[in-house]
Amino acid sequence: MNTSFHPTPRTLMGPGPSDVHPRVLGAMGKATIGHLDPEFQGLMEDIKDLMRYTFRTSNALTLPLSAPGSAAMEASFANLLEPGDKAVVCINGVFGMRMAENVRRMGGELVTVEDEWGTQVDPEKLRSALVANPDAKVVGFVHAETSTGVCSDVKTLCALAKEHGCLTIVDSVTGLAGIELEVDHWQADVTYSGTQKCLSAPPGISLITFSQAAADRVKARNTPVQSWFLDLSLLMAYWDGEGGGRTYHHTAPVNAMYGLHEALLMIKEQGLEESWTKHRTMHNTLVENLSGLGLEFVVDAAYRLPQLNLVKVPEGVDEAAVRQQLLKEFNLEIGAGLGAFAGKVWRVGLMGYSARQENVQLCTSALRACLPGL
């Protein structure tokens, strides 16, 4: 017989989603109103304002998309690329690979810059690729690579792209609100993120911001944007309140937007720099605790993400069995390795509301119980 669904409460310390803050869940339970209701339109303006604060930008074209982070990635390439345009994509993990796949599917000419998984994007390799491809129009790379726990140097990579006349697409799905991101100061052209990482809201919404240069590129297109749903000009006709009118584009997920608004508001109340500091502090505690168990971290501390940690699986340990035991006995979720790291690492997330002292202690004691040989 079919009945209501009641999920077992878990502690989410994998690569996402992260634990959702009770304030966000409470906001999402408020009364649904129409997506063209004047009150909702006011909320839309507040969301955009809070997004600009969190991205550190004054970009007019800053808005949420009614779809997860992968849709924001697709929107970035769909709006900037036209068939035959050359794009340089830096690959040092799964999500760089997905960026490259977007270029292929949109009929762009793809140039890849590849680095070993677990290391940063190498600026000198990008420089060489740009010198060899002076007709490139776009450079794409991942700020915070979720598959490897690596932070790449956005400021340097964006500066290189600018030197060679390219617009940049920056994936900061795991980065936003967890580590420093300065969209305007670093001259990033299109930057996107998602709700389910360091913002501590449920998955399903993405956030994206376009610089004026990127917006001008979209306006100057000779061909229609491949995706109707992700066409920036159509989306802005709905999200832009100038002139007092909005053109219906789609039915926005109203209650999910309540949750996004509350999550962004909490970041502003806490302070963005304080959010970065919190993630670093909890990371340092995790490193101290797990190192005390004899566990090792994969990524060099100089460019390791504090909010997404790759921990080496000890020799002879069945990593999947440990994850299953953690879930079954401790209601604790951690992530498996992907790609080159499959079966070799655990991915331990400390994102947003999950980045708490009690979670670090739970993870430490639970792993100790599941790894009696340590």
pLDDT (average), residues 162-186: 98
Domain count, the chain: 2
Rg, the chain, Cα only: 21
Q: Which one of 248, 268, 288 terminates a domain?
A: 268
Asked, for residue 188, whether it belongs to a domain, the answer is yes
At what angle are helices 154-163 and 123-132 packed, to 10 degrees? 20
Same domain, 105 and 245: yes
* CB contact at 8 A, 170 and 190: yes
End-to-end CA gap in the chain = 45
- pLDDT higher than 90, residue 161: yes
pLDDT for the residue numbered 373: 74
Residue 253 sits in a domain whose CATH number is 3.40.640.10
**Same domain, yes or no: 189 and 299:** no
pLDDT at 236: 86
**pTM > 0.75: yes or no:** yes
pLDDT > 90 in the chain, percent: 95
In this predicted structure, what is the pLDDT of residue 258? 98
In a domain, 286, yes or no: yes
138-142/167-171 β-pairing: parallel
How confident is the model at residue 241, as a pLDDT? 65
Separation between Cα atoms, residue 306 and residue 145, nearest integer Å? 12
List helix spans (H) across the chain.
Answer: 22-28, 38-55, 69-80, 94-105, 123-132, 154-163, 212-219, 232-239, 254-270, 272-292, 319-330, 357-370
pLDDT at 244: 56
Task: Give domain status of residue 1, yes or no.
Answer: no
The CA distance from 148 to 95, in Å, is 10
171 lies in the same domain as 192: yes
Instruction: Tell me if 146 sits within 8 A of 174, measured CB to CB.
Output: yes
Query: Is residue 246, in this structure, part of any structural domain at all?
Result: yes
Amino acid at the residue 333: E
Same domain, yes or no: 152 and 110 = yes
235/278 same-domain check: no
Q: Residue 170's pLDDT band (boundaries 50, 70, 90)?
A: very high
Q: What is the pLDDT of residue 253?
A: 96
Distance CA 327, CA 347 (A): 14
Residue 116 lies in a domain: yes
Least confident of 144-153, 175-184, 240-249: 240-249
Residues 42 and 117 in one domain: yes
Task: Report how far residue 293's alpha carbon sits from residue 253's, in angstroms, rounded to the nearest whole number.
Answer: 44
- Is 4 within the bounds of a domain? no
CATH classification at residue 353? 3.90.1150.10
pLDDT at residue 240 is higher than 90: no
Q: Which of 207, 241, 268 is the last residue of a domain?
A: 268
Q: What is the mean pLDDT of residues 84-102?
A: 98
CA separation for the pair 306, 178 (Å, rounded): 8
* Domain range enclosing 292: 11-16+272-370
Residue 318 and residue 226 share a domain: no
Taking only the tens place, the pLDDT of each residue in 181-221 is 999 999 999 999 999 999 999 999 999 999 999 999 999 99
* Residue from 74, 104, 100 nearest 232 by CA: 74
Same structural domain, 262 and 283 = no
- Give residue-wise pLDDT tens across range 37-66: 999 999 999 999 999 999 999 999 999 999
CA dihedral of 64, 87, 231, 40, whole degrees rounded to 10: 10
Residue 372: per-residue pLDDT: 84
Q: Using pLDDT thresholds of 50, 70 and 90, give the confidence band for residue 248.
A: confident
Tens-digit pLDDT profile for residues 305-328: 999 999 999 999 999 999 999 999
Kindly state the average pLDDT of the residues 224-246.
85
| pLDDT grade for 242, boundaries at 50, 70 and 90 | low
CA gap 210, 250 in Å, rounded:
20
* Separation CA 117–CA 91 (nearest Å): 9
Q: Following DSSP, what letter does each residue of 126-176 receive, concatenated?
A: HHHHHHH-TT--EEEEESEETTTTEE--HHHHHHHHHHTT-EEEEE-TTTT
> Is 63 a member of any domain?
yes
Which of 104, 101, 122 lies closest to 113 in space, CA to CA?
122
Q: Identify whether residues 293 and 332 lie together within a single domain.
A: yes
State the sign of the Cα–Cα–Cα–Cα dihedral 264, 266, 271, 272.
Answer: negative
Q: What string of H, E and C letters represents the secondary structure of 190-214?
A: EEEEECCCCCCCCCCCEEEEECHHH
Residues 30 and 92 in one domain: yes
Domain shared by 169 and 56, yes or no: yes
DSSP state of 85: -
Q: Among 268, 288, 309, which residue terminates a domain?
A: 268
**If you average pLDDT over residues 287-299, what whole number do you get?**
98
Answer for the pair 192, 64: CB distance below 8 angstroms, yes or no.
no
313 located within any domain: yes
Average pLDDT over residues 240-265: 88
Please indicate, yes or no, whether residues 255 and 300 belong to a single structural domain of this protein: no
